Amino acid sequence: MAARNTSAASPRAARIDKVLRAAFRPQNTTGSEDTLKIRICAGTTCNASGRQALTDAVRKSLDARGLTDKVTVVETGCHGLCQEGPIVVVHPRGVFYPRLKPRDIDAIVETSVVGDGVVDKLLYRDPASGASVALEKDIPFYARQTRVARAINGFIDPTSIDDYLARGGYSALAKVLAAADPMAVIDEIELSGLRGRGGAGFPTGKKWRYCRDNPGDKHYIICNGDEGDPGAFMDRAVLEDNPHSVIEGMLIAAFAIDADEGYIYVRHEYPLAVARLRHALAEARDRGLLGADIFGTGWSFDLRINQGAGAFVCGESTALTASIEGHRGMPRGKHIRTVAHGLWQQPTSLNNVETYATVPWIVNHGAKAFAAMGTDTSKGTKIFSLTGKVRNSGLVEVPMGASLREVIFEIGGGMLPGREFKAVQLGGPSGGCLPADLLDTPIDFENLTAYGSMMGSGGMVVVDDTTCMVDFAKYFLKFTADESCGKCVPCRVGTQRMLEILERITAGRGTLDDLDRLEQLSDDVIEGSLCQLGGSAPNPVLTTLRYFRDEYVAHVIDGRCPAKVCRPLIRYTVSKINCNGCHACFGACPTNAVSGERQQLHKIDQKLCIQCDTCRQVCNFDAIDVDTGVLAVAEGRSR
């Protein structure tokens, strides 16, 4: 980024560099990747799966061998491969050990810390080949990613500002303040092609320019951390793993739009993210990087955290600002733009966590380097939370334009054994479901929209052939219907009517006319809703009707659920050939629907059966038949 006022840049830059050096305390860092150390994932998932006991075991093992002062133990943020937690990586080689128990630690310390070997039985196993992979960098899940926003996440201690400073932290802010040219910052972000990562994909630089140009008593900046999509945890992980990257990005944005006050809006369900964020803000203020007279430049800016109550609608900009102001989180009309009339009616720039975390990288590496990644209209990288019926679930960062197949099958490892890919739902509960013949679709804003889906904040839920797409659409519509704030009729009433139709269809009482009604209601809800909660809520229904209409027809015409999921369309019976009277289903049935003596053919009372599937799950002889069709519908209606 070139400074426009070069005559004043040199002495100012020298002063800022001196302040930055004074803020850094190298003795507090965890060292480089060449240092002898043990990285332990301390993200939310690993914490829940026993990270604390693992850390205690590591420290105890090192202490017993007199290695406490020679080996650094680093509790990092999320490593990304969440299903393999708790994770330990031994440096400098980067030996990767997943799913550990405290009893495993002594062998690892003895072999990979004291010695230079590996404990083969504890190594990661490639799900496709079954072969062990010793080094983190060689695991396909990591090797095929391109990290920008998460470049150092999982490597640093998120509670240490010195770890962040040691890896170039706050150098982008120093560069911006040394140049003392806010418009040059906006030009650089525009040139990079960065678009908002919160869902709509509006050009970030253009938003900053509009905000700066709008008159007001003061300008505000807001970070939207109200991530409420089922299965999405990208923003939570960034806040937990590297809160300083978000703070630095917000500082740069605040300088660009002439703001001296900002808010980070985080949902209260993210206690670890909030705790680490509070700690990071305190560290930044203590080092003179946040608050009054930042870097000795005379410019002041401070941040405060606002915790939301968990309303999904508060992810919408005007509902979010209303919540910060102390009002109920409800959206305003579409014609109102926060860049002109945002927080307390003042010009406000609002971006999400990932967007701000990307900004320091762009300033340090240049707009052209960022724009070189991605597609013509969607630049850079994007973080996705890959979840569902896939081998490797977790956080994935790839260049825009990567195909769905690359993400799901090359990074994600493909489907679980014995299952076939059926669909992927992108963009959170308001996203669309795309079928197998679209797996080679490049992921960018325009492509996904063209096929009825959306980028959203980055949720990616993979489903296999055991998923009923009608039931799947009903699940997401129920979520959005429940989360409607109720302010406008199309969303409040329309989503409920659509949900009622889906419930009729999955209960075997739907008609072909219901399919037409769903499409008409979807159009009405989209056109008439006040905000994008309602404006995008019908997407799961529309895309499943578009790509999986045969499943809707099967439910309506045949009274059949092809995936054998919808309970009213299912009838459980005992096979006369396979049943040996082992009594397993008899003891497991919660409603006493199974009758029969030991070593004799059992029977299921259809009036008592609740289709819970327990009998089939406990049977070891494949003796439970699951029928679906007109007969099952008749049984369901008779009850």
pLDDT at 102 over 70: yes
pLDDT for 618 equals 95
- Same domain (yes/no): 220, 360: yes
pLDDT for 427 equals 87
pLDDT at 167 over 90: yes
- Same domain (yes/no): 493, 457: no
Query: What CATH number does the domain containing 542 carry?
Result: 1.20.1440.230
The whole-number average pLDDT for the span 138-143 is 95
Q: For residue 152, is it within any domain?
A: no
The whole-number average pLDDT for the span 305-322 is 91
Euclidean distance between CA atoms 424 and 395, whole angstroms: 16
- Same domain (yes/no): 269, 349: yes
Q: For residue 23, is it within any domain?
A: no
User: Could you give the angle at the alpha carbon of 74 between the alpha carbons of 73 and 80, nearest 5°?
Assistant: 135
529-585 per-position pLDDT tens digit:
999 889 999 999 999 999 999 999 999 999 999 999 998 898 999 999 999 999 999
Of the residues 558, 590, 613, the one at which a domain ends: 558
The whole-number average pLDDT for the span 304-331 is 92
Q: For residue 151, is it within any domain?
A: no
pLDDT at 635 over 90: no
The answer to pTM > 0.95 is no
- Same domain (yes/no): 281, 393: no
Contacts of 64 (CB under 8 A, 6+ apart): none
The whole-number average pLDDT for the span 396-420 is 95
pLDDT for 497 equals 97
Residues 309 and 319: beta-carbon distance below 8 Å = no
pLDDT at 636 over 50: no
- Same domain (yes/no): 511, 579: no
pLDDT for 8 equals 46
- Same domain (yes/no): 125, 228: no
Q: Which domain holds residue 120?
A: 37-143
Q: For residue 418, is it within any domain?
A: yes
- Same domain (yes/no): 194, 179: yes
Q: For residue 132, is it within any domain?
A: yes
Of the residues 353, 371, 389, the one at which a domain ends: 371
- Same domain (yes/no): 106, 198: no
pLDDT at 632 over 90: no
Local confidence band at 9 (pLDDT 50, 70, 90 cut-offs): low
Q: For residue 5, is it within any domain?
A: no
pLDDT for 2 equals 42
pLDDT for 229 equals 81
Query: What CATH number does the domain containing 238 carry?
Result: 3.40.50.11540
Radius of gyration of the chain (CA): 27
Query: What CATH number does the domain containing 618 carry?
Result: 3.30.70.20
pLDDT for 3 equals 41
For the chain, the domain total comes to: 5
- Same domain (yes/no): 449, 521: no
- Same domain (yes/no): 192, 284: yes
Strand 132-133 versus strand 124-125 pairing type: antiparallel
Contacts of 550 (CB under 8 A, 6+ apart): none
pLDDT for 130 equals 85
265-296 per-position pLDDT tens digit:
998 889 999 999 999 999 999 999 999 999 98
Q: For residue 9, is it within any domain?
A: no
pLDDT for 26 equals 86
- Same domain (yes/no): 322, 231: yes
493-514 per-position pLDDT tens digit:
999 999 999 999 999 999 999 9
Residues 338 and 321: beta-carbon distance below 8 Å = yes
Of the residues 143, 161, 178, the one at which a domain ends: 143
- Same domain (yes/no): 221, 344: yes
Q: For residue 250, is it within any domain?
A: yes
Instruction: List residues bridging with 434 in a β-sheet.
Output: 424
Q: What percent of the chain has pLDDT over 70?
A: 97
